[in-house]
Amino acid sequence: MTEATDTWAPKGPKVLLTPDEKAAGIARVLAERPKGQPFRVFAFGSLMWNPECCVAATIPATVHDYQRRFQIWSTRARGTAERPGLGLCLVPEAGQACRGLVLELDEERLDEDLRCLWDREQNSGVYRPTWIKAEGVDGPVDVMAFVVIRDHPHYVPPMPPDAMAEIMCKAAGRYGTNRDYLARLLETLAALGAEDPDLVELDACIRAKAAG
């Protein structure tokens, strides 16, 4: 029987950014940073519950014309090179919206925390860190968001929930299982008063496969 990972395999070799490439990405983001404002990051996945950096303030917020999707391969955090899992990314989608958290970083630790962020989120360079607007309770703020690069080898085109569940119910990496990642995400979204029907359906598919 052909597994979903055989059909939806990563297109090309594993990609890793060099330290110089990561430093160049940080320098670009800092150069494009809106002047006179705190450095804010939009968290849509595990950064919401485990930022691993010094957060001065947290604001629930929504970004418009983007959506949260499991559309990148995870060969480290929630999978391996032999059995990749699926990771979250922020995908541009007109008319959609993504609820998450705005993390305001501590200015005194900014350089150190950005290096940590890049080591964690930009190990493969699958994202284009981009300044966008997030809508909070007090109005819009500028945030840096990790937006997916669709022509990156680790990008996964949209796939049916059943195929995603086949991958995610078996994958695990250094931070735990893929299915636990989804469960924690759903808990966090519920605490924010947000619900994503597609993720709920995916969770149901995973539970059914695990039970069967």
Say whether pLDDT at 212 is over 80.
Answer: no
* Spatial distance between the Cα atoms of 77 and 85, rounded to a whole number of angstroms: 8
Mean model confidence pLDDT for the chain? 93
Residue with tokens 């680790």: 154
For residue 49, what are its two tokens? 């519950």
pLDDT tens digit sequence for 92-147: 999 999 999 999 999 999 999 999 999 999 999 999 999 999 999 999 999 999 99
- pLDDT per residue over 56-80, tens digit each? 999 999 999 999 999 999 999 999 9
DSSP 8-state symbol, 155: B
**Domains of the chain from N-terminus onward:** 4-211 (3.10.490.10)
Largest CA distance in the chain: 57
Residues 92 and 68: their CA atoms lie apart, in Å, by: 9
Per-residue pLDDT reduced to its tens digit, 176-194: 999 999 999 999 999 999 9
Angle among Cα 97, 203, 147 to the nearest 5 degrees reads: 35
pTM here is 0.92
Residue 130 CB partners (closer than 8 Å, separation 6+):
144, 145, 147
